Amino acid sequence: MERIDVNLGDRSYPISIGAGLLSDPTFFSDAKGRQVVVVTNDTVAPLYADRLLETLRKAGGLPALLTLPDGEQYKTLETFNTINTFLLEGNYARDVLIVALGGGVIGDLVGFAAACYQRGVDFIQVPTTLLSQVDSSVGGKTAVNHPLGKNMIGAFYQPKAVVIDIEVMKTLPAREFAAGMAEVIKYGIIVDSAFFAWLDENLDVLNQLDSSALVYAIKRCCQIKADVVAEDEKESGVRALLNLGHTFGHAIEAEMGYGNWLHGEAVAAGTVMAAKTAQIQQLLSQEDVSRITSLLEKANLPVKAPASMDYDAFIKHMKRDKKVLSGQLRFVLPTSIGTSEVVANVTSETLAEVIKTH
């Protein structure tokens, strides 16, 4: 078992990574003597809900289960209210512990509900997709989508713990695993060239769900994110770099309809578009663009945006991006494999060229 700590003073918390953690009450000691609500979806519930409920009982908790429909299209205020209604009808008090058992959608929904219910209650993240294990479960970003933009309504609210059981990868569909690899590869591009090279060499081993390779990759991603969050929790500086590919990617998700493109798929295509933007801006070499594109392709990810999306479709959504300042679009662009920066002076001509050739 590996442990990483997210250092945020009195709001610090552990990230535990290993095999079989879902069955170990040691990692759920926060449940002792408390009412606990496990929130999951109808895909994950048949696989892992009973196991987690039993573990929480062994930890001394009194657990109940709320199962929601699965899919990005349900990451809405309506579903957020479903959680609140369940808590209110169950007369849950401020000492309730909520456990998010699922991928990024469940984690974001539960985190936002925990931030708001009675002005804040404790919650634990138990991520069940690769993407949520390496990215969305760590750092306290919680939100729901709005028809006009992704993650536009939410809060920064940190969990009490993140419990990552790599055994759940055995039931994760190949498409979801590939989507998670987009975020894994992102970390190598933005800050760690050695990790990028390791991924290039070990992609087949990861796809075979080798335990030691999975733990290493997940730990490295979580360590990078934990360090970034400790330095810049509210995304006023360096944390913005974690959004590589997301400005283009969120536009793809919004335009195509949430859930039609998985988040990681949109980020992969968006990352290639960001790399091409950086090349046109003379910030990134053609060789590095090719290496980035090649690794994403090897990971079974799309490297082109939908052919139906034109310049106007991208700009419409990107203008609502959370990195926009004073009406100016800002992009996270790689400057080499292992370094990146936020760039504001991207011309409309550059964007038009990137979008036209996507």
**Chain segment 19-76, per-residue pLDDT in tens:** 999 999 999 999 999 999 999 999 999 999 999 999 999 999 999 999 999 999 999 9
- 197 and 91, same domain (yes or no): no
Q: Is 246 a known ligand-binding residue? A: yes
What would the pLDDT profile of 302-351 be if each residue is shown by its tens digit?
999 999 999 999 999 998 887 777 778 899 999 999 999 999 989 989 99
Return the exposure string of 276-300: e unless at least 16 CB atoms fall within 10 Å of the residue's CB, then b: bbbbbbebbeeebbebbbebbeebb
- For residue 133, what are the domain limits? 2-170
- Is 141 marked active-site? yes
Same domain, 208 and 244: yes
Among 220, 250, 322, 330, the one annotated catalytic: 250
37 assigned binding-site residue: no
| Residues 121 and 211 grouped into a single domain | no
Please check whether residues 143 and 182 belong to one and the same domain. Answer: no
- In this structure, the answer to whether residues 252 and 336 fall within a common structural domain is yes
* 141 carries a ligand binding annotation: yes
- The answer to whether 56 and 31 are in contact (CB under 8 A) is yes
Domain final residue pick, 170, 185, 215: 170
> Is residue 358 annotated as part of the catalytic site, yes or no?
no
Is 237 marked within a binding site? no
Whether residue 178 sits in one domain with residue 150? no
Instruction: Kindly state whether residues 251 and 132 are assigned to the same domain.
Output: no
Stretch 152-181: mean pLDDT, rounded? 98
Mean pLDDT, all residues of the chain:
96
CATH code for the domain in which residue 115 is found? 3.40.50.1970
Average pLDDT over residues 144-157: 92
Q: Looking at residues 149-171, what average pLDDT do you find?
A: 96
- Three-state SS for 288-344 is HHHHHHHHHHHCCCCCCCCCCCCHHHHHHHHCCCCCCECCECCEEEEEECCEEEEEC
239 is catalytic: yes
Tell me: do 217 and 353 sit in the same domain.
Answer: yes
131 and 195, same domain (yes or no) = no
What pLDDT does residue 324 have? Answer: 78
**CB atoms closer than 10 angstroms to residue 115:** 19
Catalytic residue among 34, 145, 176, 235: 235
Which residue among 78, 89, 91, 119 is the active-site one? 119
Looking at the structure, do residues 111 and 181 belong to the same domain, yes or no?
Answer: no
Domains in the chain, number: 2
pLDDT at 113: 99
CATH of the domain at 288: 1.20.1090.10
Determine what percent of the chain is predicted with pLDDT higher than 70: 100
Average pLDDT over residues 129-142: 97
* Strand order across the beta sheet in which 97-102 lies: 2-6, 13-18, 161-165, 122-127, 97-102, 35-41, 62-68
| Residue at which a domain ends, from 155, 170, 185 | 170
Residue 128 annotated in ligand binding: yes
Which one of 170, 196, 215 terminates a domain?
A: 170
* Residue 280 and residue 261 share a domain: yes
Question: Are the CB atoms for 185 and 217 separated by under 8 Å?
Answer: no
Q: Are residues 120 and 211 in the same domain?
A: no
Provide the pLDDT confidence category of residue 148 given band limits of 50, 70 and 90.
confident
